[in-house]
Structures are given as C-alpha cells and as structure tokens.
Chains A and B, each alone.
Chain A
C-alpha cells in the first residue's frame, strides 16, 4: 500500500513537473506583456525595461523557469513585495498578493461548491440509478432514463443562467448566489450556494443515474450474482450486496475524475454564478495574463486531478480484494 502510494505520488510529481514546463512556455507565448500591466500609467520604455528586470522577464526563459522552480521548493525572500515562503509561486502581477495565499483564499469556495454538489449528485444520481435498475423495464425506469438523458444533455451555461433568471431575477425567491465563509455564517453559506449546488448536481446526477443504472444491469448479468440467487439470497440482498459492490468500481472511477476536475476549479459553474473559487481565479489570471497566478492555478488543479486519481486507485483495493497494490 505505502509503496504503491509512494510510487504513484512520484509519477504524479513527474507529470506535474512536465506540466509546469508546458504551462510556463504556454504563458510566454501569450500576446500580452505582463510588465505592461505592472508598469501602469506613467509608463516609459525605461520603466518597462526596469520592470522587465524586476520581474526577471529579461532573463532567458530556462533561467526564469529554474528560478520559478527553486522558489516553489524552498521559497524566496528576494521579492520586492516581501518574503515568500514555500510553496512560493511568487506574487500576483495584478493584485500583488502572494499566489499561494490567493489560491488558499479561493479554495474554500471551490471546495464548498464541489463537496456540497457532490453530496447532492451522488445521492440523487445513484439513488435514481439504482431505482431504475431495480425497476428495469418499468415505466419508472423509462422515465428516469429518459429524464437523465435529457438533463445530461443540458449545459451549466444554460441551466445556470436559466435558474438565475427564474429564481433570482424574475421571482426573487433566492438571493444571487454568493460565497460566505461557513465558519462565519453557516446559514448564508448554505443559502448562497444552494442554487449552484442544485444546478451543478442536476447535471452531474443525471450522468450518475445513467452510469449507475447501466453498470448495475451489467452486474446483474454476472454469474456470481446468479449463484447468489441460486443460494436463495433474496433479490434485494443480491441487488444491494453483490451487484452494487460490483458497480462501485466504475462509479468510483468516474467520481474520482469528476471530483478532481471540480476541485481544480469548477470553471464554468463558478463563472456563471460569480463564485470566488479557483475556477474564476483561473479565468481572471488569464484575462490579466497573470503568469504566477496562472501557473499556480494550473498546477494546483492538476495536482487535484492526480491526487484524486491516486485516491481512487487506492480505493479499488478496498472495493475489490483482487486488486493488489504495489
């Protein structure tokens, strides 16, 4: 187990390393000159020069990258804005805040959105999925399947604004979604996120409905399920113990992927509802061509994805005894 985790983490680090390179190069392809942003109004070529120097943009890219890497690992004190402990992505060009700090500021919103949403869509999605599989072929099954089909074809950028328009702007039933710290005001935290949760989970749930149903049905064809029935186990018991256990693998896999990408920033959702999460941070950092921030977000969300993958693989071991880790 431990060896497995170590090995996987090592792989992840390698991928992150490569990714950071790609992202780094990517940024330097950008049409905007970050110095121009910093330079501000009374900008002279001289100033620009100076800034290029301050930002280290005049150094060759490999060197810049090396600096970035060393800062990341052991922090740095030679930032004009002040010291920058590891993990140091430097300071944002735009807000002059420490990137890591900003990331951590934005994380709670994303986490709240993701985990809250996840609870919703797992419960709803798997619930309906199981029911559909249990009542396979009946009208219930057909309605669920059809409904899931349609909903899963909706996009957050349609459902979201629609929900907002109806619930907020037309009927004023809800306030505009907003993020409030749970610790400060749980009530506001909940009411502020409810619409995003519902919208997010509606769409995700529909996909889980379909997946749960099909994998359950697949499992029910399995011979060992038949054996269990031949043993005289009740249909319900077999359904919930044997078939369900088997369906977990694909579900967990997909869930891991979803969770990872969501935790890395539910870009469109956060953007649609104006939630101050990592996703929106990402979009901002692109708009302001804020190199440190952009790199920060990119690596962070990649880390999330990889992390979740590892967790999922580890989870297999608990679900399926045949899987041996190492």
Chain B
C-alpha cells in the first residue's frame, strides 16, 4: 500500500506541497524573524510616505518592494508577507485541531453505534440525521458569538485563543457526522465477519475486540476521510473569518485576509493584494485534494478514478 502510494508521482509531489505549507505555518515566527518584520506593525503610521490618506500604498502593485516582498496591506499597511505566514499558521492550526476532534468523535460514536447496534445505534444514527439537517454555515455564524460568550463576558476583550477555541468547537459540532456514519457502516460490516465472531466466541471483552480487531480495520476510511475533511475545514474556517465572525484584526488569518481583500478599498486600488491569500489557498487545497485522491487510491485501488 505504502509502495503503491510512493509509485504515484502526483501524490508524492502534492504531499511535499502540503508538507511545505505545514512547515511554513510551523516556522512562521522564525521566518518572520529572519525577514525582520512582524504582521502587527502599522506601516501606514510608521511610514506614512508609503501611503495616501486612505491608507492605499502609493507604489504600484500594493507597494511590493525589496523591503516588502508581498507589499503592504491597504488600510493600516501591515506587511503582507508576514501576515500571510501567520495567517496560514492560524488557519492550519485551527483546521488540524478540528480534524482531530471530529475524527475522534467519529470513531467514538461511529464505532460504538456500529458495534453495539440496537438502541445505541438507533439513537446515534438519529442524532446524525438530525445534525445533518442543520443549515451548517448559518449555524456557525449564529453560534460563534454564543460560544465566545461562554468563555468571556461580552465586556472583556476576547482573547484570540477563545475565538480559536470557539471556531474549533462550532466546526467540530457539525463536522463529525459524515465520518461517524461511514465508520458505523464499516463496523457494522466488520461485526458480521468471522474473525470478530471468533474473537467473541473466544470470550474476548468488547473493548479488546474493538481495539484489536475493529480499529485496525477502520484505519483506511479514517485516513481517506481525514485527508478529505481537513481542506474543507480550512475553507470553512476561512469562510467564517471572511464573514467577520471568526478571527479578526489584528490577528492574521487566511480568511480574514480574504475579508480585507473583498473591501472596496482593495478592489478599487490594489488587486495585487488579493492574490496572495487567494493563490496560496488554491495551491494548498488542490495539493491536499490530490493527496487525498492518492491516499484513497493507495488504500483501495478498486474504486475507479
């Protein structure tokens, strides 16, 4: 299986690209340090000569220069390069967390439902159906302020980590069902298999059966689904920040950069700006989806591409 993956060139390349993004996110502070800037400096006030009174960089292409590689953000004039690095960092951090949370939940509930069957199965399935009927995006928007308010009184400054946690929670809440359902199916099928019966007959405790017999067999769907889910969470998170209910200025975030890019200020005066978050995200998502396909093919070659 591993060999088959290695043989798949696109898979390997995209794996490298994805790895690169995670590395960038991980090392953002280091890189920014070497580059000698941070995403918080208000260059519009530090270096007013670079901007007009509306905060638009006066140099062409959003003020790209040897000094500011990716230019300056219209408005307060943050350094785009470092902002993007940190933005990627934030978004990936959140999405990874969400993925882990959902996978764990999916395993827990899916496998339980599938293995125990009967009443447990029935109720878990109903819950899944119910949650699937939710208008997800709407729910996210509506619940973000609520969840935030669970952590801080609306009077105090909302620390960044709270917003992060909130983002993770809301996405997790409506994120785990699909995987859960798949795992339930797989487990259900496995349960009927001889070797499980054998284990049962030999009097192995359920816990052990699940650990030793079932989990190893559901690794494939988990891995495949995981690689599909993560990019979705990335875009969803970005979407929320774009709508203004996720991460907000000055904390850098991919989606929040899109929000900025969609302001008239930018669209009127500085298209260049929107390409940095835009292109980087496309590359990331494409790479990740290709990776996902390769992983799936590697695990179960039967499914036709």
Contact = CB atoms under 8 A, between A and B. Distances in A.
Given A218-B304, A306-B133, A30 B146 contact: yes
B173 to A, nearest CB: 11
B133 A15 contact: yes
A130 interface: no
Contacts of A26: 142-143, 146
Nearest to B245: A286
Contacts of B304: 214, 217-218, 221
A282 interface: yes
Nearest to A282: B138
A275 B130 CA distance: 30
B9 interface: no
Contact of B286 (A153, A282, A294, A305): A153
B106 interface: no
> Top 6 closest A-B pairs, CB basis?
A31-B149, A31-B154, A153-B285, A165-B267, A29-B146, A161-B262
Contact of A158 (B139, B148, B281): B281
A202 to B, nearest CB: 13
Contacts of A305: 133, 135
Contact of B274 (A161, A297, A301): A161
Contacts of B2: none
Interface stretch (B49-57, B198-206, B234-242): B234-242
A267 B133 contact: no
Interface string A126-170: 000000000000000000000001101111011011101110111
A106 B146 CA distance: 25
B134 A19 contact: yes
A286 B267 contact: no
A298 B135 contact: yes
A161 B141 contact: no
B297 to A, nearest CB: 12
B243 A169 contact: no
A114 interface: no
A272 interface: yes
| Size bin of chain A's contact surface | 35 or more
A268 interface: yes
Interface of B: 129-130, 133-139, 141-143, 145-150, 153-154, 231, 235, 238-239, 242-243, 245, 255, 258-259, 261-262, 264, 266-268, 271, 274, 277-278, 281-282, 285-286, 289-290, 304-305
A302 interface: yes
Given A15-B130, A165-B266, A272-B262, A150 B148 contact: no
A59 interface: no
A154 B133 CA distance: 25
A95 B142 CA distance: 19
Contacts, number: 133
B238 A267 contact: no
Contacts of A165: 266-268, 271, 274
Contact of A149 (B148, B258, B274, B289): B289
B142 A23 contact: yes
Given A161-B258, A165-B271, 14 more contacts: A29-B146, A30-B145, A30-B146, A31-B153, A155-B238, A165-B267, A170-B271, A217-B305, A218-B304, A265-B135, A267-B141, A282-B138, A286-B245, A309-B133
A158 B271 contact: no
Greatest chain A CB density within 10 A among B138, B238, B271 is at B138
A166 B130 contact: no
Nearest to B143: A26
B242 A157 contact: yes
B271 A166 contact: yes
B154 A32 contact: yes
A294 B142 CA distance: 8
Given A157-B238, A271-B243, A306-B133, A164 B141 contact: no
A136 to B, nearest CB: 10
B242 A214 contact: no
Contacts of B145: 30-32, 286, 289
A190 B260 CA distance: 28
B305 to A, nearest CB: 7
Given A31-B146, A150-B286, A157-B242, A282 B133 contact: no
Nearest to A23: B142
A294 B144 CA distance: 14
Contacts of A298: 135, 138-139, 142
Contacts of A283: 141, 243
A261 B142 CA distance: 16
B285 A301 contact: no
Given A161-B267, A272-B262, A153 B282 contact: yes
A34 interface: no
A214 B305 contact: yes
A88 B279 CA distance: 46
Contact of B243 (A170, A268, A309): A268
B275 to A, nearest CB: 8
A302 B154 contact: no
